[in-house]
Amino acid sequence: MAIQLSKQMALTPDLVARCERPVPDPGRLAGHSYLNDDDYLAAARKYAAEKDDGPLWIFAYGSLIWNPGFTYVEHLRGTAHGWHRQFSMQLTSWRGTPEQPGLMLALEHGGSCDGILFRLPEERLTDELLAVLVREVDRPDNLNYIRWITVRTDGVKRRALVFWAHPKGFHMPEPPTMELAAHMLARACGHMGSGASYLYQTVAKLAEYGICDRNLWRLQQMVATEIEGMGK
């Protein structure tokens, strides 16, 4: 049963709207290599071949919950033990800029993480894997942070594919404190939107599934306070 936390959130759509502003798409960075169509197809076939005898599940813990970008035929609430979600990835595009970096959620070692398992349709497995790969990764090194993990749901262990698990090369020098994360999320915006919007949509969608992440709940309150203070 869904819990109605979104009605009680301090971070409201009106506050989020204050953070939105037009930012041009910077495009691809010079000096970096990017995945091409053949690379994506090879990766999709690789993960399809690696799955066990059952269906292929994708574990969503952040934006994939509210904007999956792929077709699924079933979804279940599940818990990944040994991992927790954290705003640990610094962004200088998408939802941030070099001048005002943003943050994105990743899975980090330790604790546990409640999220959503999505089952991909077997008859369109490669196509749907292609869709999520294009959404989630764009450079060859990004593939290093896709891995198989075990997720428990209804007393059953399921093997699932997860994106951005402990992405070392994208970390800040130190994991951001809650205060620093709130400061950055309240101010960052890129061509895909603001950090405040990303946080709001994640917390609200988790609430629809009956999930309350205590750290994210506290963070949305802190971001709301930051935004309100910026307007004074």
Catalytic site positions: 136
Tell the burial category of 15 from Cβ atoms under 10 Å away from its Cβ (0-12, 13-18, 19+).
buried
Residue with tokens 């450079």: 139
Residue type, 174: E
Residue-wise DSSP of 51-82? S-SS--EEEESSHHHH---S--SEEEEEEEEE
Distance of alpha carbon 169 from alpha carbon 101, whole angstroms:
16
Picking from 136, 138, 124, the residue whose alpha carbon sits closest to that of residue 69 is 136
**C-alpha closest to that of 145 among 93, 108, 96:** 108
